């Protein structure tokens, strides 16, 4: 059990050392070069104490609140829904009333993305390599083997996914999608925990990230364009091409292949940040995603523009509209974030749980998702089948999938 004494004495020692150092330095008793050396030692000691505090207190809610408050200078905004949010009525933003609306809006989305009112179910990976040897994952004890899938698309854009096979399979499949941080090796711990429970894991990275190439583009209207990340996709939009497909087609191709190869009709899907947003969007399009659990994925625009996610008071201001993939105007005219959430939740044996890190120091923090939770949940209930809910994770201050989030994932997908 935690007690104040566990951390009080180190803090007292640090204070005494700092005061002694300041006094001796002013009296010139200790030479300046030696003073600098002593301060470096004290700084190292402080870092060690902070790490000790983290290990000891990481499960203490008050400690997470203190860390968040120290970073943002404002705890209140994380604990409340802004008054201005109440000027928006979430239920009015949802234009889906029944199963017919679900079908119609999904067809319109598919027609925008793939220029046809249905998923490209004939699409499969262009290259499949079995028994991949990758030392990054060699130490996962529950891993049997790896197969890689390469999906080639327009403009030389490619996506490489890994299929991790467990040694003791339970016959179930989960899609793990990494976010803007980079390669899905960042989710190695999550992948390892899925494998230990017998899940086959198909891992993806976002376009241009991880092992995925980031080509430059020679465009007739713009010239030779050096790749500048996902916002480059704004320049690739054509009447016959919606660049948002580059985030979704790799998932569709691999799901199609696995469904045929292993006779699987129901997948779970989770992801962090941009990977969480991909989870929201893809599950809205494909009913084969039975359970979708995005973490720190996105928020409706009206909430992104308010504290604690756009907060001048704290000085931590994130642009309201993020990268290209987070807000595609043409797509959002068909279905906004709340409607995508309904589409990803509605249907027989389908469920979506959106997890947000309350004290997240990067994005999508606070409890503001509670503002639309009931509206989405009620819309799904009116359609007749499916379920939707929000979970607020207050156990840490990072932009990550925490132990609590994983517990939520496993508790739900175990029913597949």
DSSP string, 157-198: -EEEEEEEEESS--S-EEEEE--TT--GGGGHHHHHHHHHTT
Per-residue model confidence (pLDDT) at position 32: 45
Which CATH number applies to 77-413? 3.40.50.1820
Which tokens belong to 224? 């030779």
Mean pLDDT per 10-residue segment, the chain (416 residues): 49 59 49 50 56 55 57 67 95 97 98 98 98 97 98 98 98 97 97 98 98 97 96 95 98 98 97 97 98 96 86 51 85 97 97 96 92 98 96 94 96 87
Query: Measured between alpha carbons, how far is 397 from 361 in angstroms, rounded to an integer?
Result: 6
Q: How many CA atoms lie within 13 A of 386 on its CB side?
A: 32
Q: Which helix (H) or strand (E) holds 223?
A: strand 223-225
Is-contact 122 139, C-beta < 8 A? no
| Site of tokens 């009913």 | 287
Crossing angle between the packed helical segments 99-114 and 274-285, to the nearest 10 degrees: 120
Strands 173-177 and 200-204: parallel
Per-residue model confidence (pLDDT) at position 242: 98
Per-residue model confidence (pLDDT) at position 95: 97
Of 411, 311, 292, nearest in space to 364 by CA: 311
Helices (H), 286-321: 301-304
Per-residue model confidence (pLDDT) at position 27: 47
Residues 6+ apart with CB under 8 A from 233: 243, 244, 246, 324, 325
Residues 6+ apart with CB under 8 A from 52: 7, 10
Per-residue model confidence (pLDDT) at position 2: 44
Of 361, 341, 303, nearest in space to 83 by CA: 303
Is-contact 286 279, C-beta < 8 A? no
pTM of the predicted model, to two decimals?
0.84
Helices and strands, counts by H and E, the chain:
13, 13
Cα dihedral: 292, 295, 296, 299 (round 10): 20
Query: Measured between alpha carbons, how far is 359 from 54 in angstroms, rounded to an integer?
Result: 15
Is-contact 224 218, C-beta < 8 A? yes
| Sign of the torsion formed by the C-alpha atoms of 330, 334, 336 and 342 | negative
Per-residue model confidence (pLDDT) at position 322: 73
Is-contact 197 410, C-beta < 8 A? yes
Query: Measured between alpha carbons, how far is 364 from 37 in angstroms, rounded to an integer?
Result: 41
What are the domain boundaries of the chain? 5-57, 77-413
């Amino acid at each position: 059990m935690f007690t104040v004494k566990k951390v009080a004495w180190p803090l007292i020692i640090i204070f005494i050392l700092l005061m002694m150092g300041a006094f001796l330095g002013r009296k010139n008793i200790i030479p300046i070069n030696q003073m600098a050396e002593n301060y470096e030692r004290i700084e190292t000691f402080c870092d060690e104490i902070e790490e000790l505090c983290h290990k000891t207190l990481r499960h203490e809610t008050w400690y997470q609140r203190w860390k968040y408050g120290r970073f943002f200078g404002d705890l209140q905004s994380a604990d409340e829904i802004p008054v201005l949010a109440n000027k928006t009525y979430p239920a009015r933003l949802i234009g889906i009333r029944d199963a017919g609306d679900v079908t119609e809006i999904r067809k319109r989305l598919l027609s925008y993305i793939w220029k046809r009112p249905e998923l490209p179910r004939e699409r499969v990976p262009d290259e499949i390599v079995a028994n991949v040897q990758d030392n990054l994952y060699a130490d996962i004890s529950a891993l049997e083997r790896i197969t890689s899938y390469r999906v080639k698309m327009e403009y030389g854009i490619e996506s490489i996914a890994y299929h991790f096979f467990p040694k003791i399979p339970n016959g179930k499949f989960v899609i793990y999608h990494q976010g803007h941080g980079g390669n899905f090796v960042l989710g190695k711990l999550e992948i390892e925990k899925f494998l230990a429970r017998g899940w086959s894991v198909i891992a993806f990275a976002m376009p241009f990230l991880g092992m995925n190439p980031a080509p430059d583009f020679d465009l007739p209207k713009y010239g030779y364009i050096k790749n500048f990340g996902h916002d480059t996709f704004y320049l690739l939009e054509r009447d016959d091409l919606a660049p948002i497909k580059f985030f979704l087609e790799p998932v569709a191709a691999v799901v199609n292949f696995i469904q045929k190869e292993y006779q699987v009709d129901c997948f779970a899907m989770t992801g962090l940040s941009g990977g969480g947003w991909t989870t929201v969007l893809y599950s809205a399009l494909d009913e084969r995603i039975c359970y979708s659990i995005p973490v720190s994925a996105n928020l409706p625009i009206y909430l992104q523009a308010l504290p604690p996610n756009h907060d001048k008071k704290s000085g931590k201001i994130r642009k309201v509209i993020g990268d290209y993939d987070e807000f595609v105007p043409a797509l959002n005219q068909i279905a906004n974030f709340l409607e995508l959430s309904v589409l990803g939740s509605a249907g027989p044996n389908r469920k979506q749980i959106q997890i947000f890190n309350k004290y997240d120091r990067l994005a999508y923090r606070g409890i503001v998702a509670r503002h639309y939770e009931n509206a989405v949940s009620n819309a799904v209930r009116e359609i007749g089948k499916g379920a939707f809910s929000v979970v607020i994770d207050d156990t840490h201050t990072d932009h990550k999938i925490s132990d609590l989030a994983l517990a939520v994932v496993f508790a739900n997908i175990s029913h597949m």
